[in-house]
Structure 1
Amino acid sequence: MAFIHDVLEAPSYGWKNADGELSQPTNKQIFKEFTSRLNIFKNKKNWLSFTAWMMVVALAPFLYLFIFKYFSLTGLIIAFVYSMMVMGTHGTIWYHRYCTHGAYKFSNNFWRFVTQNLTLKIIPEEIYAISHHVHHALSDTPGDPYNAQGGFLYCFLADANHQPVNRSLSEKHFERCVKLMKHTGVTTNNYKQYQKWGSIAHPFHMILGVIANWAFWFAVFYLLGGIGLVCAIFGAAGVWAVGVRTFNYEGHGKGEDKRREGVDYNKKDMSINQVWPGIVAGEWHNNHHLYPKSARSGFKPYQVDSAWYYIKFMSFIGAVSHYHDAKPQFYKDYVRPDIKNIVEPVFCPVTGKQIFATE
């Protein structure tokens, strides 16, 4: 557990108070930490957090131009679908189920590259993946980088305040971080470079990748619909980049126990299943915490899982070589525990209803 507790850079207000409980900083303390973590003039090791937020700032002019110069109802619909559904689903597919949990495997690096760049790149993989391992290990306890009990700002600014990798890792722990990132294809530093930059990812390769990604999608959207479409989609991406930072606060009940019987089966933390994130992004959060390595988290018939549909399609065409689907296990453990060895639910061709076969 020492690695999990030490792998992230502790904020100045610490993870725990003197009583061993969650340290709950004031908004002033959180903002002070945030500005300190973005100050690349004070410390160049702040480059990753600074870059992540500068990408959001860079998208703001596109949103302004769309609203005040290129606004149209069609553009608004496209922006809504792209930000809420396309980027939301991609975040679940790439950052959540692949980069962090390795819930599926690609047949080759080409399909990994395609999936990685399906949308505008805004979130650095390192910021998300390593901290998310900590989130699962320490969920809703001190050390959880986006512990909802710390309040809205505690979660909203967590990517800068709580999620960056510890800059004083031993070489052994640094190599463990590299191993956690290896399957993502991210170009990593060696230990000497890490000591210089304070990150697992190399800044040159990371920033170059973002520039290439943005340039490609700018050209595609411009050819499809001109500068108006570019502004609509790039602006929408900026909205998503801000909105996604609110998710874990909402997804863990805003620091309260909002779990519902028969809906939220995981009782080990405060995660909850929410209809909107589930429908638009396949993020049934309580189900995910129940089976974090599952490529599917929409287990019940009404739980739409667009991320799973993509993974399943990629498997059908041979782009995904392996995936783990915990749905049969979920039904066996929680819905029909009286039946042993339940296999994949199937649909009855006569009634059209879901039935369960047994081995």
Structure 2
Amino acid sequence: MAFIHDVLEQPSYGWKDENGNLSKPTPSQIFKEFFSRLNIFKTKKNWLSFMSWMMVVTLSVFLMFFIFKYFSIKGLIIAFLYSMVVMGTHGTIWYHRYCTHGAYKFKNNFWRFFTQNLTLKIIPEEIYAISHHVHHALSDQPGDPYNAQGGFLYCFLADANHQPINRNMNEKEYQRCVTLMKHTGVSVNTYAQYQKWGSVANPFHAVVGVIANWAFWFTIFYLIGGVALGCAIFGAAGFWAVGVRTFNYEGHGKGEDKRRDGVDHNRKDMSVNQLWPGFVAGEWHNNHHLFPKSARSGFKPHQVDTAFYYIKFMSMIGAVSQYKDSKAQFIKEYVTPFIKVEAAPVYCPETGKRILATE
């Protein structure tokens, strides 16, 4: 556990207060940390967080062009579907179920590259994957990089404030980080390069990868629908990039216990299943926390799982060589016992009549 506790760069306000509880910084402390972490003039080791937010700023320019110059109802519908469904589903497929949890395996590197670049590249894999391992190990505890109990800003700005890796690891610890990332195909730094840049990802390859990805997709959208379509979709991607930073705050009950009997079966943390993220991105968060390595998290009939449908399709055509599906285990261990308990007959102590527990 020592590695999990230390793998991320601790913010200036710390993970814990003097009593060992979650340190809850003020908004001014959070913003001060945020701008400090983006300051590449202070240290070049801030490059990854800076690049991540510069992509958001750049995409917002496309959004402004769409709103004020190329706006149309058709473009708005396309932008909505792209940001909510396409980007959301891809985030679950790539960053969540593959990069972090390795819930499935590709047949070869071509299909991995194909899936990685299915949409605009916005989130650096390193920022997401390594910190997400910590999130699962320390969920809703001090050290969880996006602990909802810290408040909205604590989660919203976590990618800069809490998710970058520790910049002072020894070589053995750094190699453990590399091991967490090597299956993603990200070009990694040597230990000497890590000491210079403070990241696993190599900055040159990362920047070139984003430029190539954006150039390819803008060309495709331009050929289909001109500049208007390009601006609509690029702007939509920027909208998603901002919105996704709010997810964990909502997905863990905004710091409160909002779990429901028969809906949220995982009781080890405050994660909840939400209809909207589930329907548009296959993100049934409480289910996922029960079985994080499952390629499917939509276990119940109404729980649409677009991410799993893609993985399943890729398996059918041979692009995915194997995947794990925990649906049967979920039904056996959580749904069936709950139904039996709910339906179990009991006796009313006053009348002596047999009634259902649900009554």
Instruction: Say yes or no: TM over 0.5.
Output: yes
Per the alignment, residue 36 of structure 1 pairs with 36
Aligned-partner Cα distance in 1 for 2:62–2:106: 34
**Cα deviation per residue 1:76-129 (whole Å; 9 max; x = unaligned)?**
000000000000000000000000000000000000000000000000000000
Aligned-partner Cα distance in 1 for 2:89–2:116: 12
Output aligned runs, 1:172-183, within 5 Å: 172-183=172-183
Output aligned runs, 1:1-150, within 5 Å: 1-150=1-150
SS at match of 1:336: helix
Q: Which runs of 5+ in 1 are unaligned?
A: 340-359
Per the alignment, residue 253 of structure 1 pairs with 253
SS at match of 2:294: coil
Residue 152 (structure 1) aligned with residue 172 (structure 2): no
Matched residues, number: 339
Per the alignment, residue 346 of structure 1 pairs with none
TM-score (norm 2): 0.94
SS at match of 1:321: strand
Per the alignment, residue 222 of structure 1 pairs with 222
Residue 290 (structure 1) aligned with residue 290 (structure 2): yes
Per the alignment, residue 195 of structure 1 pairs with 195
The one-letter amino acid paired with 1:39 is N
Per the alignment, residue 235 of structure 1 pairs with 235
Output aligned runs, 1:261-272, within 5 Å: 261-272=261-272
Deviation at 1:283, TM superposition (A): 0.2
The one-letter amino acid paired with 1:55 is M
Aligned-partner Cα distance in 2 for 1:191–1:78: 44
The one-letter amino acid paired with 2:185 is G
Per the alignment, residue 349 of structure 2 pairs with none
The one-letter amino acid paired with 1:229 is L
The one-letter amino acid paired with 2:107 is S
Per the alignment, residue 333 of structure 1 pairs with 333
Aligned-partner Cα distance in 1 for 2:88–2:329: 26
Aligned-partner Cα distance in 1 for 2:35–2:68: 30
The one-letter amino acid paired with 2:330 is F
Moved over 3 A (4+): none
Per the alignment, residue 310 of structure 1 pairs with 310
Aligned-partner Cα distance in 2 for 1:65–1:161: 30
**Cα deviation per residue 1:284-333 (whole Å; 9 max; x = unaligned)?**
00000000000000000000000000000000000000000000000110
Deviation at 1:336, TM superposition (A): 2.0
The one-letter amino acid paired with 1:42 is K
CA contact (8 A) 2:189 2:199 kept: yes
Cα-Cα RMSD: 0.9
The one-letter amino acid paired with 2:120 is L
**Cα deviation per residue 1:26-75 (whole Å; 9 max; x = unaligned)?**
00000000000000001100000000000000111110010011000000
Aligned-partner Cα distance in 2 for 1:240–1:54: 15
Deviation at 1:337, TM superposition (A): 4.2
Aligned-partner Cα distance in 1 for 2:278–2:306: 9
User: Considering only CA atoms, is the larger Rg found in Structure 1 or Structure 2?
Assistant: 2
Aligned-partner Cα distance in 2 for 1:235–1:68: 12
Aligned-partner Cα distance in 2 for 1:326–1:93: 16
Deviation at 1:338, TM superposition (A): 9.9
